[in-house]
Structure 1
Amino acid sequence: MEEQRALRPPWALVRGAGDGSGWPWRSTLLLTVFVQVGSHFAAHGQEGGRAGLDAFARVLLVLACGQLLWRLRRPVPVVFGTAGVTALYLGAGYPYGPVFLAVAVACFSAVVAGHRRAAWAAVGLLWAVHLLVAHWLYRWLPPSGDSAASWGQEAVIAAWVAAIVALAELARVRREQWERERAERAEAARRRADEERLRIARELHDVLAHSISVIHVQAGVGLALLDSDPEQARTALTTIKSASKEALGEVRQVLDTLRTPGDAPRAPAPGLDRLPELVEQAASAGLTVHLEGEAPRLPPGADLAAFRIVQEALTNVVRHSGSRHARVRLDPGDRTSLRLCIDDDGPATGADAGGGGNGLAGMRERAAALGGTIEAGPRPDGGFRVLAVLPLRGEEEVDR
């Protein structure tokens, strides 16, 4: 609740929305008391030149201020109502004073609510009535013996009217700007949430697709050799147990970031230093992988992306290629980018271990997030190639 009050724009309190009820009774009551007291002193200062405050004048002051209770819900009728009551008050010859504050607040509320023409029309109508009374009808209206108002006084009133309208327009512009900024902040928050969901989806896909592919292959080996070669079947089951344990650990790490957002992960994210381990896992699935080149030092995000790209590429070889050999080549190139090339000799088998076909899309998203690129497709001499180019620079530079 305190945070919501802190984020409330300043004009909300001016308009009387601070009590949260939609009925600004506190500000209306305070303004009514101020107008009554101020008009009392104004009457003493203008004694002899204007009519004194009687019961009818007090009623008009209450009516002018009391209408402001509805200024948030019915701003147009309120601005015309306060202008009309104020015009009647002035036409009856009562003293000038803080009664104009009621019109100012009503005009302000109408403009901020988007009813600019209505507010201008009401204020303009009040000024026109005042000119008519002060320079023509004063002969027949109280107080008796009154003279025409000076044009200097009219200039002062006109200046006050212009100031009221200008202040209301400024508040309207500030309100629109604040609402636009609030919408932009909400959109940015939604975008960050979408990006985080996409990141987690990619992590889960890469972890589960690789591990389940290994389990799928080893389960087939175990079933085929269960009777003829129990020892080899035992090895396959051991591999399944190891792969599933590792997958559970990585999934738990990803889910921990959901439960405690912003906290540091309990285990470091995988990187290219774990490529030998990845090669062993691929070997357990029947795929021989040859590593070429040395992994350079990368920022954590790029290191994780490079590892996941290699992992997904090898998983696709296991699932979709008839080749049992693959080659992973690391090439720092001109030391500004890392080239990852994963080849297999094919041919494609069309076999699928249950994937959803999102592997290549996930690899492209990872590379694009770092300012890199992915090219994937059949090789001219057969087989399939995945070529990734990742920039060797800090992730904060990519964000800028």
Structure 2
Amino acid sequence: MINPARRPRLVDGAVIVLLAAGSVLQLHADQVGSVAVWIVAALTVVAPAARRRCPCTVALVVIGADIWLWFHGVHLIGDTAVGLAVYSAGRYAPRPRSYAILFASELWIAGVMVSGHVDNPTDVLGAAPLIAAFWAAGLIVQRVRRDAALLRTLTERLRQEQAANARRAVHEERGRIARELHDTVSHHLTAVAVHADAARLSLGDDPATAESGLRLISRSATAALEEMRLLLGVLHAAPEQPPPPSADDLTELLDAAGHAGLRVRTELGSGLAELPPAVQASVYRIVQEALTNVVKHAGPTRVHVRAVQTCDGEVRVAVENEPGTRSGPHVPGSGSGLAGMRSRVTIFGGGLAAGPRADGGFRVEAVIPIDEPGEGTR
């Protein structure tokens, strides 16, 4: 198979061989014995070897040599070398120089016609459109090759951008899954830790309480495993993806918080279910993470959960608890809970405030702007 890098040189070599063979046969048939004519004829044959690197120089040399041969009564195989040189100028030369070569070639034809060295000038006149056709063919090929190269470049750039977008989408999806895993599993595992402590402390004095705690541990662990299975299934291209939580799921979440020992007072707006799904999911995750932190750090205490939509086109979510009564070993935190909540509200251009209250409790408040009540997704 021919190496693509060598193909142009092989083509030029074949052209030179054909031109040389035709010129030798014609000069021999015309019985031309002048050494100068043979040298100039050889120049018109050899010069096209550089037509790709120096198209304008080659065209001027070939045209000049051909004019000299015409004035000495020699017409080499229909002046094929001139056509090739003009084509090469149109194909490889910059546009202004290419026009100059076309003009020079047409001047060559006009000079031959008025020189008196041809019996019938009209025979030469037919070469003018032929030379222009050679030049135009070169120009068209140049444009087609340039457009093809540009198309290949754009295609490669598009392929790279698509690959980058795919990698970015995978990265974002993995980040979303990591946040979902943290929000859901942390909630359940915190409940497991709290109930395990309570069951251990009441095992000897109150077996019924210990048994109830163990049932809650089993329920929370099962729920955590199920949610982990669903979310990790996304990483393995599972056909079904767990639906995002909605405002309707808040009731079940608050009931679970009650089972964990929290005394929850709620204030939920009536229009939460009409919010965009992404906003509903963020409200749920913020409440879930805040309650998880209460159970983890404060233990059984009073909590006020408020989630309402204001007339200013905002959703305000507040979770605040009284000072905690938690005993037993401290449940360590990862430090990513507040960061995850802040990331969620930042996506919508909102804000998050979190900090201790004056009485020793803790308060988390998020503000999420929305476009229109009841609108779909952002």
User: One fold, TM greater than 0.5?
Assistant: yes
Give the 3 Å change call, closer, same or farther, for CA 92–327 of structure 1 in structure 2. Answer: same
SS at match of 1:121: coil
Give the 3 Å change call, closer, same or farther, for CA 78–146 of structure 1 in structure 2. Answer: closer
Tell whether 2:265 aligns with 1:290.
Answer: yes
Pick from 360, 363, 372 the counterpart of residue 341 of structure 2: 363
Partner of 2:280 in structure 1?
Answer: 303
* Structure of higher CA gyration radius: 2
Aligned residue type for 1:325: R
Aligned residue type for 2:12: A
SS at match of 1:356: coil
Q: Counterparts of 2:63 and 2:158 in 1: how far apart (Å)?
A: 43
Instruction: Measure how far apart 1:380 and its partner are.
Output: 5.2
Give the 3 Å change call, closer, same or farther, for CA 237–274 of structure 1 in structure 2. Answer: same
Aligned residue type for 1:135: I
Aligned-pair RMSD on alpha carbons?
Answer: 3.6
User: Does structure 1 conserve the Cα–Cα contact (< 8 Å) formed by 2:307 and 2:315?
Assistant: yes
Aligned residue type for 1:359: G
SS at match of 2:188: helix
User: Does structure 2 conserve the Cα–Cα contact (< 8 Å) formed by 1:371 and 1:391?
Assistant: yes
TM-score, normalised to structure 1, is: 0.65
Instruction: Measure how far apart 1:238 and its partner are.
Output: 1.1
Partner of 2:298 in structure 1?
Answer: 321
Q: Counterparts of 1:196 and 1:373 in 2: how far apart (Å)?
A: 23
Partner of 1:280 in structure 2?
Answer: 255
Alignment of 1:94-109 (within 5 A): none
SS at match of 1:329: strand
Q: Counterparts of 1:294 and 1:389 in 2: how far apart (Å)?
A: 14
Instruction: Measure how far apart 1:355 and its partner are.
Output: 3.7
Instruction: Measure how far apart 1:164 and its partner are.
Output: 2.1
Tell whether 2:60 aligns with 1:131.
Answer: no
Encode CA deviations 1:304-359: one digit per residue, 9 max, x unaligned: 22111100111111222367222111121116221101112347989753442221
Q: Counterparts of 1:168 and 1:369 in 2: how far apart (Å)?
A: 46
Aligned residue type for 2:262: L
Instruction: Measure how far apart 1:225 and its partner are.
Output: 1.1
Partner of 1:237 in structure 2?
Answer: 214
Instruction: Measure how far apart 1:288 and its partner are.
Output: 1.8
Pick from 194, 211, 218 the counterpart of residue 171 of structure 2: 194
How many percent identity over aligned positions? 35
User: Does structure 2 conserve the Cα–Cα contact (< 8 Å) formed by 1:210 and 1:315?
Assistant: yes
Partner of 1:30 in structure 2?
Answer: none
Aligned residue type for 2:353: E
Partner of 2:3 in structure 1?
Answer: 70
Q: Counterparts of 1:324 and 1:273 in 2: how far apart (Å)?
A: 24
User: Does structure 1 conserve the Cα–Cα contact (< 8 Å) formed by 2:310 and 2:316?
Assistant: yes
SS at match of 1:364: helix
Partner of 1:39 in structure 2?
Answer: none
Instruction: Measure how far apart 1:142 and its partner are.
Output: 8.1
Partner of 2:316 in structure 1?
Answer: 339
User: Does structure 1 conserve the Cα–Cα contact (< 8 Å) formed by 2:262 and 2:301?
Assistant: yes
Instruction: Measure how far apart 1:279 and its partner are.
Output: 2.3
Q: Counterparts of 2:222 and 2:81 in 1: how far apart (Å)?
A: 97
Instruction: Measure how far apart 1:215 and its partner are.
Output: 0.4
Give the 3 Å change call, closer, same or farther, for CA 141–344 of structure 1 in structure 2. Answer: farther
Partner of 1:212 in structure 2?
Answer: 189
Alignment of 1:8-19 (within 5 A): none
Gap regions ≥5 residues in structure 2: 24-49, 83-107, 110-127
Encode CA deviations 1:164-183: one digit per residue, 9 max, x unaligned: 22221111111111111111
Instruction: Measure how far apart 1:125 and its partner are.
Output: 6.2
Gap regions ≥5 residues in structure 1: 1-22, 24-68, 95-117
Q: Counterparts of 2:79 and 2:244 in 1: how far apart (Å)?
A: 89
User: Does structure 2 conserve the Cα–Cα contact (< 8 Å) formed by 1:326 and 1:344?
Assistant: yes
User: Does structure 2 conserve the Cα–Cα contact (< 8 Å) formed by 1:322 and 1:348?
Assistant: yes
Q: Counterparts of 2:78 and 2:225 in 1: how far apart (Å)?
A: 97
Tell whether 2:137 aligns with 1:160.
Answer: yes
Q: Counterparts of 1:121 and 1:321 in 2: how far apart (Å)?
A: 81
Give the 3 Å change call, closer, same or farther, for CA 135–144 of structure 1 in structure 2. Answer: same
Give the 3 Å change call, closer, same or farther, for CA 93–214 of structure 1 in structure 2. Answer: same
User: Does structure 2 conserve the Cα–Cα contact (< 8 Å) formed by 1:92 and 1:141?
Assistant: no
